[in-house]
Amino acid sequence: MSTDMSAIHRASQPQAPTHRLLRGYAFDPSLAGQLDTAQVSEILYKVPWEAMPDGPRGEYIEVVDFDPPSGCFYAPVNLDHPHILAQNGLAPSDGNPQFHQQMVYAVAMTTIDRFERALGRKAMWTDRWSGVKGDPDDFVQHLRIYPHAMRDANAYYSRSKGALMFGYFPATADRNSKEFPGGVVFTCLSHDIIAHETTHALLDGFHEHFMEPTNDDVLAFHEAFADIVALFQHFTFPEQLRHQIAKTRGDLSSENLLGQLATQFGHASGSRGALRDFIGKYDEKTKDWVRREPDPTELDRTPEVHDRGAILVAAVFEAFLSIYRSRTRDLLRLATGGSGVLREGELHPDLVNRLASEASKAAGHLLNICIRALDYCPPVDLTFGEYLRALITADMDIMPEDPLGYRVAIIEAFRRRGIYPERVRTLSEDSLRWSHPEEDPIRPAEEVKETLAQFMKSIRMREHVDQLRYLKTRREVWEKMSDARKAIHGAVRTEIEKAEILQHLTGLALAEYQAPPGVRVRRDGVPVFQIKAFREARRLRDDGRVLNQAFITILQEEIMEHEGEEHMIRCGSTLVIDLDEMIITYVIRKGLRDHDRLKRTIKFYENGQTSVALSNTYLGKTDEVFAALHRH
């Protein structure tokens, strides 16, 4: 009997791990200096494994540690060094620049991984403009992260640099502050700030035109969504979650770290509490913490970006609290003998663990809904009400049944804060779900369905998707998506006559010699439009089946006249496609000739609610929007 030694040798080779564990601060360094939170101040971040050159520099991000104020380059950390690997990374330290590099890498990759798992595809950064009109944009491999970019109480995402810029600053000299007076505070050591800025970059790569402030909600949504991601990532920290549930005796609507963002930054800036607290606030007179009560009129009188965004975050967090109470009601009945009233004293550790498990599940599910809803948004001029419709539609596609009442909780929380969509009859789930094309009131349903199905075949949708399925690198995916966008654009131009209904549904001008005044037309008579995005996604439904989808966004510009002046308005539609049935399931539009929208946009700018000029916004000259928004 012979033995194949080469086979034995091959079998003995260790497989590359799936994840890397890295030590870091769970919230920020301030918790390590307080006795009641020191034991939960640190965490092990679990990030996808990748070979790691010095930097760190991986598939998605590159850390560049240059300190411009001091003119100093800090030595890059080598996360693959055996000594560092053996200890799960460097020990947390606010005085070690190499740990700062490790911290931003760990949190950024945690956030990216959360997005990819929710969306069912690889994350992309926004393309880099080639600099020549008409030339294709360039692929951006890395988001650069500068842990010590400036001496300023600020951190922001820079589209022009393709980077996250983190500042450091001296804490307030107020001796009543919880921070060391005058001590240095590093924004790159705050989980919340890193996750927030990374989300800005991810969202910009997803919806480029959500940085164009065309109404009160657009930039506020960017801020709110970044806060939502940072906030709900708290609930993935097991030890910290159990600690806060034990401290609050399971009542997460009371003051706790889980509902706050950037605690150290808030104290260092002179505030009594965290930079943002979505559950309550400190009363200016009594100095006591009081719970925030929803006000359905607050949105109408709140134009400031952060304050307006906080209303949206509070609505989502209230929905989470309602879901958490619903999921834990049976546990409390068991623990209290049916009374629902907990006896005085500390909770039993087993009850704490079960409550933490339910809180983590609820937060994870809700965050996935929030991220997936991005696929169901119009590509321009988003409002909070439209995001509500996107939330409901995204969840109905994944969970046709809603036994735990997630959608009811979301709708109720939005209603209590006066967040309503336009052009809906009621706030029922069916009314809020985006309409199917065959529900069009003008065209017969069967005609619409058959025509669109034939159109889908003619533009070879399945072929484009199949080419994406087995690609490994993001660059390969980006190149194939770019090719698909060009092919789809050409197919729409040649096949649109066979599916004129699509032009009707999108509200855009796609067929030759049918463009209204104000829409640019090519020499051959075809209106100018852009296939801005083509994405595919594979997601698991509640019944165990895989939901295969594709998403196409079409953009078009229109010049409209108002009171003797011409204004350029960007229009667009999102097509949601069921790849199994090969049908268009939703057309989410911001169409042409929308005079009400034009008037609203012009009024928004005339009211001076943004410092960004309309011409600059649409000509692409706006830069560092978030640098101004995040300065404190």
Confidence (pLDDT) at 560:
82
Query: Domain check: are 46 and 76 in the same one?
Result: yes
Query: Domain check: are 417 and 507 in the same one?
Result: no
Order across the sheet with 565-578: list the strands. Answer: 530-540, 546-562, 565-578, 583-590
- For the segment 303-319, the average pLDDT, to the nearest whole number, is 94
3-state secondary structure of 539: strand
> What values do phi and psi take at 163, rounded to 5?
-150, 160
User: Any idea which of 273-282, 304-313, 540-549, 591-600 has the lowest mean pLDDT?
Assistant: 273-282
Residue 617, in any domain of the structure: no
Residue 487's domain spans which residues?
Answer: 441-593
Please state whether beta strands 276-277 and 184-186 pair in parallel, antiparallel, or not at all (unpaired): unpaired
Query: Domain check: are 116 and 52 in the same one?
Result: yes
Query: Domain check: are 427 and 449 in the same one?
Result: no
Cβ atoms 167, 83 nearer than 8 A: no
Query: Domain check: are 572 and 475 in the same one?
Result: yes
Confidence (pLDDT) at 263:
77
Residue 250, in any domain of the structure: no
Residue 500, in any domain of the structure: yes
The predicted-structure confidence for 335-349, as pLDDT tens digits, reads as follows: 888 888 888 889 999
Query: Domain check: are 53 and 193 in the same one?
Result: yes
Query: Domain check: are 336 and 397 in the same one?
Result: yes
Asked if omega into 181 is within 30° of 0 (cis), the reply is no
Compute how many other C-beta atoms are within 10 angstroms of the C-beta atom of residue 266. 22
Query: Domain check: are 399 and 540 in the same one?
Result: no
The predicted-structure confidence for 46-64, as pLDDT tens digits, reads as follows: 999 998 888 899 999 999 9
Stated pTM of the model: 0.93
Return the residue matching tokens 């700018």: 605
What lies within 8 Å, CB to CB, of 306 at 6+ separation is: 220, 223, 276, 629
The predicted-structure confidence for 69-126, as pLDDT tens digits, reads as follows: 889 999 999 999 999 999 999 999 999 999 999 999 999 999 999 999 999 999 999 9
Residue 235, in any domain of the structure: no
Mean pLDDT of the chain: 88
Query: Domain check: are 413 and 347 in the same one?
Result: yes
Residue 243, in any domain of the structure: no
Residue 380, in any domain of the structure: yes
Residue 258, in any domain of the structure: no
Return the residue matching tokens 């005079």: 595
**Count of structural domains within the chain:** 3
Confidence (pLDDT) at 172:
72
The domain boundary residue, chosen from 206, 225, 250: 206
Proportion of the chain above pLDDT 70, given as a percent: 91
Token pair of 361, please? 């599940």
Query: Domain check: are 454 and 426 in the same one?
Result: no
Query: Domain check: are 200 and 273 in the same one?
Result: no
Return the residue matching tokens 């719970």: 291
Beta-bridge partners for 49: none
Which residue intervals of 263-304 are DSSP H helices?
263-268
Each as own residue / partner, the long-range contacts of residues 49-58 (CB below 8 Å, 24 or more positions apart, any chain) are 49/16, 49/17, 49/18, 49/19, 49/20, 50/20, 51/80, 52/20, 52/78, 52/79, 52/80, 54/78, 55/101, 56/101, 56/102, 56/105, 57/142, 58/105, 58/109
Q: Residue 167: which region, alpha, beta or left (left: phi > 0; alpha: psi -120 to 50)?
A: beta
3-state secondary structure of 106: helix
Beta-bridge partners for 170: 184
The domain boundary residue, chosen from 188, 206, 224: 206
Residue 341, in any domain of the structure: yes
Give the chain's largest Cα–Cα span. 94
CATH no. for residue 88? 3.10.170
- In order, the DSSP letters of 607-624 are TT--SS-HHHHHHT----
Query: Domain check: are 177 and 277 in the same one?
Result: no
